[in-house]
Structure 1
């Protein structure tokens, strides 16, 4: 059950003014009166609201969230602050409940203190005591291991008690913020103790973090186990990149504007580059990262999802089934290069000076086997073999200890077929490009050629920038805010389905198999933009990587 803020008969009239800036030119439309609803306290039954008006904030109905592995970094830095931010924005029901499950000898008040500290340190919105007091009344903690039947019996009792005291109506999402090896154990325990089966008229959902398997075989095995307990539409696989405003803006950019979609094809696009770069090393994640690597950790999920959104056809509607259908068409049309060795590169960061300090190489990190062949950098070339994209290469790359932290999608256009200008006039002119900046500076850049002021005809690249922070008064919510709210609402638009997961592994598995039998990863200096072999890979195609 989901509810939205009701319409109201009380209204106030305000005057709004928006501006659009391009270069040094600012355009201000005429002022106009806008009617803004004055929103009362949440009214769950107001019949005047229009559920079809997506401009109204969506509010979760009676519900609770159970987090397994609640003591981990993800929970402390992202999940618990996101829950508070949703409550602070009025998007959670008054009786919302939060249950933590972990191997700690804590009481409810100890758990509440942990949540309080996490919220104070990491929440996006200001701390308000009245919001906190309402939230803390619904917090419970269950100590125990994942194979502890007594703990799961206590969890069931806590859920039933919250139904009675907080009015959660039997609606619960179970968030598995645990290593993938524990997924089967947790979902089987939920089934064994009757927690996965919802009482009549209510719902139960499972939220699963990546990585979902380490190859196609393990992903299929895990899908079988999870779907034995939960129906496919009850399973929400988290890819937090899909919760970012800029990623969702790909769809708005393409399908809500007439000027881009007509040229978004092989007739005009030369190639596409999708980059996710990090300027940090693995930190204390050796136990997770070694044996997984950059390609499995990032390309299989984040980058292939970004590629699918960039390349897909217009969906019939903005709903989960329509989006799934179009993304699957792209993933199934992906064609690997015939010579995988020549069109893929893997690397490991080496010791170097970065950011004013000497940093260790991957093989010197604590907990890493000096003989490890795990990739901390991966670059691959893919082709989408369909009418829209035939002949347009997609270059995907990711890495740790690179020049800076940035994620972007760059659609690079072909050069003009005929130029009436002298070569000297255009020697500083590159290719037109549309760059969607996913993080950290969320927005979009359009690069094109413009005449330099003066008496001579000299053309140089210039850019037009759109930045979320400058164009909207409200800051973008964190990805986990949007995704947790969507889980509680049952909105699966931004969650990959099991078919997408399996198709992505079909793409990556042959590359990983090739790497496993062909030598060691190339070394690259920390703080650089990857191994030289990656530059050579694009140079063979007459192209070069962008330097964000």
Structure 2
């Protein structure tokens, strides 16, 4: 393989015939904007150390932080060190840290500071020579969307966005990808004017979780499941992301955004698309993205949004044994805020596979427990040759994919109660847990996604078409809610507002109680 192909990121280990070999990033550098924020400290910096500790970063990897703080390289190194010691998932090894620290640099400045970006350019070129980064640079924009345009324009002005024939430049952007369809389109135009669409990586950390990816394996690698994964057998699907915490000091971000924009538009609609899509021809990026886009384009909302949606706002209550305040009493929240902390909606996919099967999506803060799951609930057997009393405790069969916190899959089915003189059938569960089934440690989502960026491997990153389709689904709901005034209050520590239960009861169903 030519040195040029290696420099452009064509990693010989990754292209080897033995796919069990680890994927190791080629020579590269990362520039991180927003490096002083919580996301960087708690997730990104520990993930970079863990990748290095696993031997998945190149020997000359370098990281440049950019922020307003008046730090030098040593100050930045101490910040990274503290973040690594607090958040790394792999054991701390001094030799790994020293090697990583040798490639750390920091540039002080604001996003509209030409001189700071000129200094950034100098540092990147200098590191490229010193560390052998091959001219390959990934720019991580862990900043508010309002800053994307300024940062991209600065990178274009100083020539950092432009690759050479033997190098690549990529940009990583965090959600939210806009506030609605119009802003998402404007944001995509801003970013893709500077970087080609195949060099733009939109991070949705849920798609890096092992269990989300295992959904594809469960569906398409097992003849046991795929034949019944359709409207002939499935009654409905529930997708839940529940949090037991409040806004955790994020009033400036969360108020005015709300649960639906924060979670449903990205995480839950992505999970719904992976659950509902047709089998791709391959797991190449274009094939996978095409099937997700096709199924998102087939989403239909019910005509009666009052009956098919619910929203709420948590009030004071008990979270376990702790008394907690309501949303309107949180620091930085306007007492008149109408931002929802709970959102639920019903939608359908107008496809041959899913015609008539409702998908129920819900998310909320200060709920009964922390969990994310996809529950595929099956229809009842058409005929039960038992007495009614024998099956009165029998529910519907279900496949539940647990995304967090206990990653795995549960299958619920009916079984005879042992020892009974007559036939008595009751629900039982069969459980698969990642931790118990595999000795390999599961990488944190950001580890997987950062490595994919450096490898130029895009299947887990949504294109702008997916983002815009998601906003097309959510925008009518947001407009409807905007006319409804204050959300319904629900007590912290419960499972949401009564309107969410009524939404299910109208359809003769009920939410799963994990």
TM bin, normalised by shorter chain, reads: over 0.9
The separation in 2 between residues aligned to 1:475 and 1:279, in whole angstroms, is: 26
1:168-207 correspondence runs (5 A):
168-207=133-172
1:304-315 correspondence runs (5 A):
304-315=269-280
Match of 1:247 in 2: 212
Match of 2:494 in 1: 528
Query: Taking structure 1 as reference, are residues 114 and 451 closer, same or farther at Cα in structure 2, changes over 3 Å only?
Result: same
Deviation (angstroms), 1:47 = 7.5
CA contact (8 A) 1:2 1:61 kept: no
Query: Taking structure 1 as reference, are residues 57 and 280 closer, same or farther at Cα in structure 2, changes over 3 Å only?
Result: same
The separation in 2 between residues aligned to 1:392 and 1:2, in whole angstroms, is: 52
CA contact (8 A) 2:11 2:26 kept: no
The separation in 2 between residues aligned to 1:484 and 1:48, in whole angstroms, is: 18
SS at match of 2:345: strand
CA contact (8 A) 1:2 1:59 kept: no
Deviations along 1:352-373, one digit per CA (max 9) or x if unpaired, are: 1212121111111111111111
The separation in 2 between residues aligned to 1:301 and 1:426, in whole angstroms, is: 40
The separation in 1 between residues aligned to 2:139 and 2:306, in whole angstroms, is: 42
Deviation (angstroms), 1:50 = 5.5
The separation in 1 between residues aligned to 2:481 and 2:10, in whole angstroms, is: 58
1:459-498 correspondence runs (5 A):
459-498=425-464
Match of 2:481 in 1: 515
Query: Taking structure 1 as reference, are residues 49 and 276 closer, same or farther at Cα in structure 2, changes over 3 Å only?
Result: closer
Specify which of 121, 126, 129 is matched with residue 164 of structure 1.
129
CA contact (8 A) 2:155 2:161 kept: yes
Deviation (angstroms), 1:231 = 0.5
Query: Taking structure 1 as reference, are residues 543 and 242 closer, same or farther at Cα in structure 2, changes over 3 Å only?
Result: same
Alignment TM-score, normalising by the size of structure 1: 0.91
Match of 2:327 in 1: 362
Deviation (angstroms), 1:429 = 0.5
Structure 1 gaps, min length 5: 4-43
SS at match of 2:279: coil
SS at match of 1:228: helix
Query: Taking structure 1 as reference, are residues 263 and 172 closer, same or farther at Cα in structure 2, changes over 3 Å only?
Result: same
CA contact (8 A) 2:376 2:399 kept: yes
Deviations along 1:315-338, one digit per CA (max 9) or x if unpaired, are: 001011001110011100000101
Deviation (angstroms), 1:220 = 0.4
Deviations along 1:85-123, one digit per CA (max 9) or x if unpaired, are: 000000000000011001111110110111011000100
The separation in 1 between residues aligned to 2:497 and 2:316, in whole angstroms, is: 13
Query: Taking structure 1 as reference, are residues 45 and 225 closer, same or farther at Cα in structure 2, changes over 3 Å only?
Result: closer
Answering whether residue 57 of structure 2 is matched by residue 92 of structure 1, we say: yes
The separation in 2 between residues aligned to 1:52 and 1:388, in whole angstroms, is: 36
Match of 1:343 in 2: 308
Deviations along 1:215-259, one digit per CA (max 9) or x if unpaired, are: 000000011111110000010000000000000001000001110
The separation in 1 between residues aligned to 2:120 and 2:399, in whole angstroms, is: 50
Deviation (angstroms), 1:193 = 0.8
The separation in 2 between residues aligned to 1:513 and 1:362, in whole angstroms, is: 22
Match of 1:389 in 2: 354
Query: Taking structure 1 as reference, are residues 460 and 131 closer, same or farther at Cα in structure 2, changes over 3 Å only?
Result: same
The separation in 1 between residues aligned to 2:293 and 2:126, in whole angstroms, is: 42
The separation in 2 between residues aligned to 1:433 and 1:304, in whole angstroms, is: 20
Match of 2:471 in 1: 505
Name the Cα RMSD after superposition. Answer: 1.5
Structure 2 gaps, min length 5: 4-8
CA contact (8 A) 2:71 2:108 kept: yes
Aligned residue pairs, count:
508
Specify which of 83, 98, 107 is matched with residue 48 of structure 2.
83
The separation in 2 between residues aligned to 1:72 and 1:192, in whole angstroms, is: 25
Match of 1:412 in 2: 377
The list of structure 1 runs, each at least 4 consecutive aligned residues, that deviate by more than 3 angstroms after superposition, is 44-50
The separation in 1 between residues aligned to 2:97 and 2:500, in whole angstroms, is: 50
CA contact (8 A) 1:2 1:60 kept: no
Deviation (angstroms), 1:475 = 1.8
1:214-225 correspondence runs (5 A):
214-225=179-190
Alignment TM-score, normalising by the size of structure 2: 0.97
CA contact (8 A) 2:13 2:23 kept: no
Deviations along 1:483-538, one digit per CA (max 9) or x if unpaired, are: 00000000001001000000000000000000001232011000000001100100
CA contact (8 A) 2:11 2:25 kept: no
The separation in 2 between residues aligned to 1:173 and 1:46, in whole angstroms, is: 16
Higher helix share: 2
Match of 2:82 in 1: 117
The separation in 1 between residues aligned to 2:12 and 2:306, in whole angstroms, is: 62
Query: Taking structure 1 as reference, are residues 144 and 58 closer, same or farther at Cα in structure 2, changes over 3 Å only?
Result: same
Answering whether residue 291 of structure 2 is matched by residue 326 of structure 1, we say: yes
Query: Taking structure 1 as reference, are residues 309 and 402 closer, same or farther at Cα in structure 2, changes over 3 Å only?
Result: same
